[in-house]
Structure 1
Amino acid sequence: MTGTESSPEEIAALPDGGVAVVLGTRPEIVKLAGIIRHLGPKARVVHTGQHYDSALSDVFFAELGLPAPDVRFSVGGATRAGQIASALGSLDLLFAQTKPVAVVVQGDTNATVAGALAGNARSIPVVHVEAGLRSFDRNMPEEHNRVVTDHVSDLLCAATDDNVGNLAREGLAGKSVIRTGNTVVEAVLSQLPHPARRERLLADRGLEPDRYALATIHRPENTDDPAALAAILTELNRIPCRVVLPLHPRTASAIERFGLTAHLDGLAVTDPLGPSEFLGLAAHAALLISDSGGVQEECTVLKRPLIVVRRSTERPEAMRDFAVLVAPGPLISKTAGEWLDELPELHTRLARAASPFGDGHASARIVAEIARRFA
């Protein structure tokens, strides 16, 4: 990996326009928190409003100790094209008024591609955090977002060797690509509650370590398909332990729309959890079930096994030791049951496995590179 931590003098040398950090969803807030902290007063946080529910946005800024966004738009609730178009237009006006020295985007959301295109259109260097992920599944909207973003970016911060290789195969190599590790590692380590707090979290919910599963479902491929959603909820009910399900607003709406409310009766349903509480529960779960990309990374730091309920993944690194890819259907409960039967041995093996996503210093490396290149 390249780069060391930037000095305060290097960061202070960044022009007064600062660095625009464009984000729009809960995972982006979590994964960009370290970069925002390292940039300090040079960070200009722009929230597109893709996630506009306070439980998926405001609470994360508060829990992470981040200042409120400098600028906030309201693109949430629109179609994918509508969100990108609205954010792109608003960002273009913003960058015309106050030109930042660089635009930082993360991952593969609609906010990501809008920020990258807006920066590129105004000849502002674009920094893509978590570059080079590929599912090779063109049915995923995120795959298009991440490919477009990589190809218009000026600095590609790739987390792993696999990601670097993906970029090289697309002709993106050389000085524009650096391997940094993934900011998720430091995010997990900094937000994981201390042991006494985790013990209280479990007690408050009547949970015992290794005696429950923690599930999250929110991706459109699962929530917009009534058959898939019904199959997932049915399988969660068949897992032979308590299943805690923090319910994403999109999922809750889909369950009501499709008449699937009765499928929740056997599950421990909660409101969406803040980052610290989610990690605290995940750290002591017997196993995790999720369609989230972030959870695929977090499980490698928490050393917990994960069933990924998706048809494809852009994070094959997690599949090597920590996770399995399972389509909606009987394999969900079958896999969970098999893991529960060998749980002590499985947890012991995972505890010895290293996370493939780095050493927890990705944010410092990225900010150091920004300071060197754009000051």
Structure 2
Amino acid sequence: MSLAGKVAVVYGTRPEIIKLAPVITQLVDDAFVVDSGQHYDHELSGQYRAVFGIGEPDVRLDGVGGKSRAEQISRMLVGLTRVFEEQRPGIVLVQGDTNTVSAAAQAANYLGIPVGHVEAGLRSYDRAMPEEINRLVAGALSDVHFAPTRRSAVNLINEGVDRERVMVTGNTVVEATHRAIRQSARPVASWFPNGSIPPAFAVATIHRPENTDSAPALARVLRGLQGLAMPVLFFVHPRTRAAIERFGLQRETNGLIMHPSPGSADFLQVLSAATVVVSDSGGVQEESTVLKVPVAVVRKSTERPEAVDAGWATLVRPGTDIATAVARLLRSDRPDPSVPTPYGDGAASLRIAAVARLIAEGREPAVALRLASDHAGQEAPSDAVMDSGSATR
């Protein structure tokens, strides 16, 4: 069977569902959707697909979830190669920096199928992060790079990527966030024990290995949350909950209002009402910025410096007191809420789908980018990039 003229969209985690759903919606019948099974959970994945208005995938790989990184990538590489050999799409779209991205980009490239990377060009310059390696692999193998910001585009060009293959699209998180928040049915007050919203409160999410793989690192985060001068809604990732129990840090959670991770719509609804956010999640950093809620990013580095530069985020590195950093963030001057988000105008999926269709129909990537830019009345990708200035870390 040939899918010439069709666009294969590959996801494997819930963040990928969130950010690729707007693209799938734009592509309609031109999309052939593949779930790699990286984080597959039928109930949760189904909830996310329902919120974002997309149906079941056309293909789902088995035996991937819960394996080591190396085994996940090897199993996905074999499985996706088989799918792409049998179906032969006109282009494969991947998003972000997951193991799925690395495997799908390799499988398509080895078969001579063009690869389009959504959210291309993010860089933390920290190769100890698995995500950074996945981003670099995708950057090396992609034929067209959909950069969410001009800084991301400059990162790619500084690495030697042909500027004619780079398009500054904006980030699909803008569309996804605004769609999801309209789907929430749970009142914000219901998250609090007394059923009322306090005058100020924080939302916290922590899950990255740098914050959960050692007792001192996790204790620092928990004590930092306890030190905030407001109630804290702590949405606890399964990895974090297991680490709290493993290290015996239950005392460090006293006073925190703890809940399991909610669905996307309900989470964004409560996030929009928060005074401040404390998180190590890249996606939450973006969503907070879209909703204009200040966020303290508890990490050594971030591949999303635009939010920091815009004044909506601060990076809280190891050794920095979290409560002090949050207090400083709340005292600082922040941008006028009317100032547009650094992640674009909410039309990223439209631009990505237009280019993907042209490539699937047989156009060269550089030609497809130029035609799509001309049709939309935008600057050519090369001009947009040249205006970006230099990338900074």
What TM-score results when the alignment is normalised by the length of structure 1?
0.89
Q: Could you report, residue by residue, the CA deviation over 1:77-120 in whole angstroms, capped at 9, with x for unpaired residues?
A: 11111111111111011111111111110000101111100110
Aligned with 2:325 (options 331, 335, 342): 335
* Cα pair distance change 1:70/1:168, threshold 3 Å: same
1:63 is aligned to 2:54: no
Q: Supply the distance in 2 between the matched residues of 1:119 and 1:99 (Cα, whole angstroms).
A: 9
Aligned partners of 2:212, 2:60: CA distance in 1, in Å? 27
The offset of 1:145, in angstroms, is 0.6
1:122 is matched with: 111
Asked if the contact 2:52–2:179 (Cα under 8 Å) also holds between the matched residues in 1, the reply is no
1:201 is aligned to 2:195: no
The alpha-carbon deviation at position 149 of structure 1 amounts to: 0.3
State how far apart, in whole Å, the 1-side matches of 2:158 and 2:304 are: 17
CA–CA separation in structure 2 for the residues paired with 1:350 and 1:53? 40
In the alignment, which of 299, 312, 322 is matched to residue 312 of structure 2? 322
User: How far does the alpha carbon of each residue in 1:190-236 deviate from its partner, in whole angstroms, 9 at most, with x for none?
Assistant: 22238x957x2334543526521001111122122222111111111
CA contact (8 A) 1:17 1:99 kept: no
What CA distance in whole angstroms lies between the structure 1 residues aligned with 2:3 and 2:313? Answer: 43
Residue 346 of structure 1 deviates from its aligned partner by 5.2
In 2: Cα distance, 1:351 partner to 1:143 partner: 31
Q: How does 1:47-62 map to 2 (within 5 A)?
A: 47-54=35-42, 56-62=44-50
Q: Which amino acid aligns with 2:298?
A: V
Paired letter, 2:40: Y
| Aligned ranges 1:302-321 → 2 under 5 Å | 302-320=291-309, 321=311
Paired residues of 2:114 and 2:143 also in contact (CA < 8 A) = yes
Q: What residue number does 1:46 align with?
A: 34
Deviation per CA, 1:35-77: give whole Å up to 9, x if none.
Answer: 0111112222211222234565332112222102222223121
Distance change >3 Å, CA 72–CA 265, structure 1 → 2: farther
Q: Secondary structure at the match of 1:181?
A: coil
Q: Which runs of 5+ in 2 are unaligned?
A: 362-393
CA RMSD of aligned residues (A): 2.1
Contact 2:5–2:360, Cα closer than 8 Å, also in 1: no
Match 2:101 to one of 112, 116, 123 = 112
SS for the counterpart of 2:288 is: helix
Q: Give the equivalent residue in structure 2 for 1:26.
A: 14
- Note the 1:1-375 alignment, pairs <5 A: 15=3, 18-54=6-42, 56-73=44-61, 74-193=63-182, 200-203=187-190, 205=192, 206-208=195-197, 211-320=200-309, 321-340=311-330, 342=331, 349-375=335-361
**What's the CA shift string for 1:310-344, capped at 9, x where partnerless?**
0001111111111011124552111223445x4xx
Output the amino acid matched with 2:359: R
The alignment covers a number of residue pairs equal to 356
Distance 1:87 1:346 in 2: 46
- CA–CA distance in structure 2, aligned partners of residues 277 and 159 of structure 1: 25
Name the SS of the counterpart of 1:351 in structure 2: coil
Distance in 1 between residues matched to 2:160 and 2:319, nearest whole Å = 38
The whole-number CA distance in structure 1 between the counterparts of 2:321 and 2:250 is 22
For 2:124 and 2:43, locate their aligned partners in 1 and report how far apart those are by CA, in whole Å: 29
Q: Which residue of 1 aligns with 2:377?
A: none
SS of 1:57's equivalent in the other structure is helix
Q: 1:233, 1:264 within 8 Å by CA — same for their partners in 2? A: yes
| TM-fit CA distance, 1:273 | 1.2
2:90–2:359 Cα contact (<8 Å) kept:
no
Give the secondary structure class of the aligned counterpart of 2:261: coil
Q: Distance in 1 between matches of 2:336 and 2:268?
A: 17
Residues 204 and 244 of structure 1: CA distance in aligned 2, closer, same or farther (over 3 Å): closer
CA 1:332–1:86: 2 relative to 1, 3 Å: same
The offset of 1:281, in angstroms, is 0.6
Percent identity over paired residues: 47
Deviation, 1:258, is: 2.0
Could you list the per-position Cα deviations for residues 268-298 of structure 1 after superposition, in whole angstroms to 9, with x for gaps in the alignment? 1111111111111111101001111111211
Deviations 1:102-154 (A, max 9, x none): 11100001011111001101111101001111111111111111011011001
Q: 1:230 to 1:204 in 2, by over 3 A?
A: closer
Question: Aligned AA for 1:202?
Answer: A
C-alpha deviation, 1:158, in angstroms: 0.6
Decide whether aligned partners of structure 1 residues 153 and 330 sit closer, same or farther in structure 2, where only a CA change above 3 A counts: closer
The 8 Å contact of residues 35 and 366 in structure 1, kept in 2 or not, is answered as: yes
3-state DSSP of counterpart to 1:46: strand
**For the structure 1 residues 15 and 100, does the alpha-carbon distance in structure 2 shift closer, same or farther, using more than 3 Å as the test?**
closer
Post-superposition offset of 1:17 = 6.6
Q: Give, as a single letter, the amino acid of the residue that structure 2 aligns with 1:260.
A: L
1:306, distance to aligned residue in structure 2 (A): 0.4
